[in-house]
Every structure is written in structure tokens, then in C-alpha cells.
Amino acid sequence: MNRQNIKEKSHAKLPTRAELILIEREIVNKLQRMLNNPDLTFVERLRAANVLAFHMNTLNRMLIQNGEKEAFKEETLGDYVKGLEPRIFRRFRRDFRVWKRTLSLKRF
């Protein structure tokens, strides 16, 4: 009896790549809506952001395998930083200078 059940399970229909892409897009949309929820704590948003990044990367790879162009516009770090709030930009610029100084061979 067990052998028969195993054979039936092995013949189950696997989803196509197009169906998998649709599933990933639904997951990405749900996660984006979740990030906009003001009731989430910082830790929950951080986890949701990490999961969103993973699924966006997975979706992007699946689209490339499917022969489509990359769905997400890639920005350089400079372009991304330009769109930040001034307060966050100042903090980023300060941290970047400290990081650059620690990597530099020339110490002050």
C-alpha cells in the first residue's frame, strides 16, 4: 500500500516556471504591503525586509532564467544615497568617511 502512495505522489504535477514567477510576485507584493504596515515593530519590519530582499533576488533570477530582462532597475550606491532623507544622508556620509579612513593606509 505504501509503494502505491509513493508512486502516486511522484507523478504529481510540478508547477511551471511561469506559475512559480507568479507565486514569487504575489509573495513580494504581500511583503511590500507588510512593510507599509505601521503596526509592525522595528524587529518585525527588519525581518520582513530581509525576506523581501531574498524573494526579490529569487524572482530576479527566475526572470533571467526565463529569458526576460531584469525586472528591477539597478541603482548605483550614489543614486540610492541621493534619494535618502537629509538626516540619514548625513549619518551615511559620516559613517562612510570613518570607514574610508580606517581602510586608508594614510592615518591622520
* SS3 call for 20: helix
Do 13 and 66 share a domain, yes or no? Answer: yes
- Give the structural domain span for 32: 2-73
Give the pLDDT of residue 104.
63
Annotate 16-34 with three-state secondary structure.
CHHHHHHHHHHHHHHHHHH
Query: How many structural domains compose the chain?
Result: 2
Residue 23: pLDDT over 60? yes
Radius of gyration of the chain (CA): 22
Cell 544622508, located at residue: 89
Residue 11: pLDDT over 80? no
Give the pLDDT of residue 101.
77
Cβ–Cβ under 8 Å, residues 17 and 65: yes
Do 103 and 58 share a domain, yes or no? Answer: no
The pLDDT tens digits for 27-84 are 999 988 888 888 888 888 888 888 888 888 888 888 888 877 655 566 666 666 667 6
Residue 12: pLDDT over 60? yes
Do 11 and 35 share a domain, yes or no? Answer: yes
Give the pLDDT of residue 26.
93
